[in-house]
Amino acid sequence: MAPNSKPQIEPSLTAVEAAAEKVQEILCDGYFYDVTNFVRRHPGGSIIEYYTQHGEDATIAIQQFHQRSPKKVSAILSSFKKRKAEERESKLRNSIWLV
């Protein structure tokens, strides 16, 4: 007779763990920035989530909303991990970000 053994079941992720695994990125000026840890702290509230969920290019929105503080925004963006957007990922090729 075979010993009593329970099938091995992989533990499922909690909602918090699953959310922590999801990387949230925004596309700005040809780069994707990892804003996963910044989304909840964004001073403008949840508008940033629109750009992380829909894959929209956030370049123009960032420029318009932060036109009086481009150096600060540039410093914040430079603190995030980033990756170059492939041409097929980026609709906006020539942005005008004046610093």
Residue-level pLDDT at 13: 55
Residue-level pLDDT at 96: 47
Where exactly are the structural domains of the chain? 22-84
C-alpha distances in Å from residue 1, one per residue of 5, 8, 26, 59? 12, 20, 58, 67
pLDDT level of residue 32 (50, 70, 90 thresholds)? very high
Is the pTM above the cut of 0.85?
Answer: no
Q: Determine how β-strand 82-84 pairs with β-strand 31-34.
A: antiparallel
Q: Using an 8 Å Cβ cutoff, are 29 and 97 in contact?
A: yes
22-84 carries CATH number 3.10.120.10: yes
- How many other C-beta atoms lie within 10 A of the C-beta of residue 31? 16
pLDDT level of residue 5 (50, 70, 90 thresholds)? low
